[in-house]
Amino acid sequence: MLEYKNVLSPIKIGALTLRNRIESAPSNTGNGTFEGFFTQESIGYFELKARGGASIVTIGESNVHTKTGVAHGRMPCLDNPDILPSLIRTTDAIHRHGALASIQLIHPGRRANKDYYNGTVYGPSSGEPLFAGPIVEMDEKVIEEVVNAFGDAAEMAKLGGCDMVMVHGAHGWLLHQFLSPLNNNRRDKFGGSLENRARISLMVIDNIRKKCGKDFPIEFRLSGSEYVEGGLTIDDMVEFAKIIDGKVDIIHVSSCTFHNPATNTHMFPSAFHEKGINVPLAEKIKKAVKTPVAVVGGINDPDLMEHIISSGKADIVSLGRPLLADPFLPKKLMERKAEDISPCLRCLVCLSGDFVPYIKYPIRSLKCSVNPIIGREQEATRKIQPERKKKVLIIGGGPAGMQAAITASDRGHQVILCEKSDSLGGAINLIENISFKSDLKKFKNVLIKRVLKRDIKVMLNTCVNNELIDYLNPDAVVAAMGAEPIKPNIEGIENKNVILATEIIKRSEEIGKKVIIIGGGLIGCEEALNLSSQGKKLTVIEMRPDVVIDGAYLYREALMINLAKHPVNIVTNTKCKKIVETGVLAIDKEGREVLFKGDTVIVAAGLKSKIQQVDSLRKYNMEFYNIGDSFKPRKVLDAIRSGYDIGTTL
C-alpha cells in the first residue's frame, strides 16, 4: 500500500511551514452577502477544507479595486474594510484546524461586469465590450492606482488574518490580459516585449512586498498555456516564470483563458481530459525556476498526487474539485484510508451554474455530485441525534439507497438494505463499460465499501413486497427503487435489433458496427461517444432542436467538443416513425421521410420513476419515503443528496 509520504511531507515556503503538499485551490462560494462579506455558510465551506487536512486553504477571487472593475456579484471586496469582521471569522475557522489561510487577489480588467459596479471598464488595450463597454485602455495613472490597490488589498488580507496571498495572473483576468498578445496591443512600456507585458505583474508583486513584508508569502497563479492560436504558449510562460522567479514564493500553474470560452472545460478539466492535465506545463516551469511550483487541474487520484511530488514535477498539488468531493482527502491519506476517498467525477456540476449564458441571474448554489454536504457545510456538520433509534428498511441498493443506509446507520439507526439484484450499485452498474465514467465506478465501490463496513444488514436478491415489510416490521421504509426506461410508442420497438440503453452491458455482444441511437439526451450522447470510441459508426436521432439539454452546462460543452472529434452523425428536429430491420425510418425537420441505416438501434428515450411499484408498498402505520430516481429520475447528485437528506432526518 502506498504511504503517500511525499505528498504528506511538509515544505517550507518563506517563513511558513506547510504541513503537507496539498493546497486547497482558490475557490469561491457565491453564498457571501450582497456586499461580499463571508457568511456562516461560506465560512463553513472553508473551515471544512481546513478540518480535512489541506495545508493552505485559499479563499477565491477577491476584488482589489471596485472603482475600476468588479468581476462577479457577491465577491469579497478587499478595498472595503467592513469585510474585516467576517474575514477574521473565516481565517480563524481555517486556523483552528492547523491550516494556513490564503486569499486570491483579482482585478477583472476587461472582464469587469457593470452589473456589479458603476464605472469605466478598463483593459490593457481598448476593444469590444464583453459584458459592458467600451473597454478603455488603462493609462499609467490608472495602472499605478490598480497596482497600489493590489498592495492595499494584500495588507487588508493580512489584517484579516491571512497568512499569505495568491495573485491571480491567470485565466484571462487583468494581469493575464497584460501578458497575453491576445489582449495587449500597447506600444508603451506595458506592451510589446514579454518584459514589458510582465511589467504590471512585477509592480504588483513589489507593491505587496513593500506593504506586507518579505515574510508574507506571495503565490502567483499563471496559465501555463492559453491554448489559443496567437496566445501565450508554454515557452512564453517558462520565460515569464523566470522573470518572477525568486520574487514570489510559489508559482502556481493552471492553464487557459476565459478570453476563449472553448478553453473553459480545459481550465476546469472534464472527465474527458487526462488527469493532471497541467502537470507537463508545471514540469517545464519547475525545471526553469528555483521557486517552489504548485500545479492544479484534474488531479483527483492520490497515486497521481504522490507521483507528481515524488518525481519532482511540482512541489505542491493544488486541488479544487477533489476537495469538494472529499475535503478529508489529506486526512484519509494520512490515516491510510485512501480507499474511502470519494473521487471527484469531473462532472462539472459544481461550476456549471456560473456559466449558463442564457440565465439572467445565475445564482451558484454550490453542490457536488458525490458530496451531499457541499454548499451547506454548517447545517450538515451539526450532528442531530435522532429522537429514538429506529429500524429502517431501505429498498434499493443504488446510490440513493446506499447513501441513505450509510447516513442513517451513522446516526445510530438499525438499517436493513434490500436489493433485488445480486449486487449493489443500481444505475451506476449500467456505465461499467464507459471509460470516461471510471471515477463514477470508483465512487460506487467506495459507497459499497462504506455500506459493508457498517452494521447494515444487506439482503441481496431480495425483492421487497408487502409480506416482507410486514415480516420485518420496520419503523420507517425508504424506497430507493430506481427508474425504468421509457419505451416510446414506435412501430418495431420490440424488434430483436432494438436494445434499451439500460440493457447495453447485458447485450453488448449484439451491438453491430452501425448503430442508431434514438434519443439525444445525456445518456444517448454519452453512449454515442463511448461506442464511437470503440470504432462503431453512430447516428443519434433527436426530435428536439438540440441534444444533451439535460446535461450540466460545462459538461455538455465538453461532451459536445469530444463528440465533434468522432464521426457521430447527430440529427435533430427528427422524429422516429418506425424501426425496421435495416435501421430507422424517421421524419426530418422538412417533413421528409428518411431511412437511417444501421444494424442496431439503441433506445435512450429517457427514464421514468417506478411510482406504481413504490406506491404499492406504502403503509398507513409507518414512515414512508420515496427518494432518488424512484421519486424522479435525475443525476447522481440528486440521488446522493436525497439519500443523505433522508438519512439525516429519519
Q: Which is nearer to ligand FMN, 440 or 584 (CB)?
A: 440
Q: Does 272 bind ligand FMN (CB under 6 A)?
A: no
Q: CA end-to-end span of the chain, whole Å?
A: 38
Question: By the 8 A CB rule, do 21 and 6 touch?
Answer: yes
CA dist list (Å): 564 to 415, 467, 569: 47, 52, 9
- Nearest approach in angstroms of CB 32 to ligand FMN is 12
C-alpha cell at 243: 522573470
Work out whether 413 is an interface residue with ligand FMN (CB under 6 A).
no
Q: Which of 37, 38, 190, 268 binds ligand FMN (CB under 6 A)?
A: 268
Size of residue set near ligand FMN by CB under 6 A:
24
Does 23 bind ligand FMN (CB under 6 A)? Our answer is no
Smallest distance from the beta carbon of 224 to ligand FMN, in angstroms? 12
**484: CB partners within 8 A, 6+ apart:** 502, 607, 608, 610
| Selected binder of ligand FMN within 44, 53, 60, 353 (CB under 6 A) | 60
Stretch that binds ligand FMN, among 25-33, 231-239, 427-435, 635-643 (CB under 6 A): 25-33
- Measured at the alpha carbon of residue 348, what is the angle toward residues 346 and 354, in degrees to the nearest 5? 155
Question: Which residue in the set 125, 201, 223, 254 belongs to the binding site for ligand FMN (CB under 6 A)?
Answer: 254
Sign of CA dihedral 94, 98, 99, 101: positive
Name which position in 44, 53, 151, 298 contacts ligand FMN (CB under 6 A).
298
Judged by CB under 6 A, the chain residues 431 through 490 that form the site for ligand FMN are none
264 binds ligand FMN (CB under 6 A): no
Window 206-245: contact mask with ligand FMN (x via CB under 6 A): ---------------x------------------------
* Nearest by Cα to 116 from 24, 52, 54, 32: 32
Residue 24 is given by DSSP the state: E
CA distance 314 to 322: 18
Q: Are strands 537-541 and 514-518 parallel, antiparallel or unpaired?
A: parallel
Piece in contact with ligand FMN (CB under 6 A), picked from 26-34, 153-161, 301-309, 379-387: 26-34
Per CB under 6 A, the segment of 47-55, 293-301, 600-608, 638-646 that binds ligand FMN is 293-301
CB of 169 or CB of 426, closer to ligand FMN:
169
Of 360, 368, 292, 346, the closest CA to residue 16 belongs to 292
CA–CA dist 164, 599 (Å, integer): 61
Residue 585, SS3? strand
In this chain, which stretch among 319-327, 386-394, 544-552, 624-632 interacts with ligand FMN, using CB under 6 A? 319-327
* SS3 of 254-295: ECCECCCHHHHHHHCCCCCCCCCCCHHHHHHHHHHCCCCEEE
Residue number of the CB atom closest to ligand FMN: 60
Beta carbon of residue 354, minimum distance to ligand FMN (angstroms, whole number): 8
Q: Which stretch binds ligand FMN (CB under 6 A): 77-85, 318-326, 398-406, 581-589?
A: 318-326
Q: Which of 25, 458, 543, 605 binds ligand FMN (CB under 6 A)?
A: 25
Indicate whether 104 belongs to the interface with ligand FMN (CB under 6 A): yes
Residues near 198 by beta carbon (within 8 Å), at least 6 away in sequence: 178, 179, 240, 243, 244
Does residue 65 contact residue 79 with C-beta atoms inside 8 Å? Answer: yes
Instruction: State the minimum distance, in angstroms, from the CB of residue 24 to ligand FMN.
Output: 9
Comparison of 51 and 168: residue with beta carbon closer to ligand FMN: 168
Nearer to ligand FMN, 40 or 495 (CB): 40
What residues form DSSP beta bridges with 298?
A: none
Name the residue with cell 464605472.
119
- The site string for ligand FMN over 160-179 (x = CB under 6 A, - otherwise) reads --------x--x--------
**Which residue type, as a one-letter code, is found at position 195?**
E
- Find, among 397, 389, 250, the residue nearest to 317 by Cα: 250
Binding status of residue 91 toward ligand FMN by CB under 6 A: no
Residues near ligand FMN (CB under 6 A)? 25-28, 60-61, 104, 168, 171, 221, 254, 268-269, 296-299, 319-322, 350-351, 366
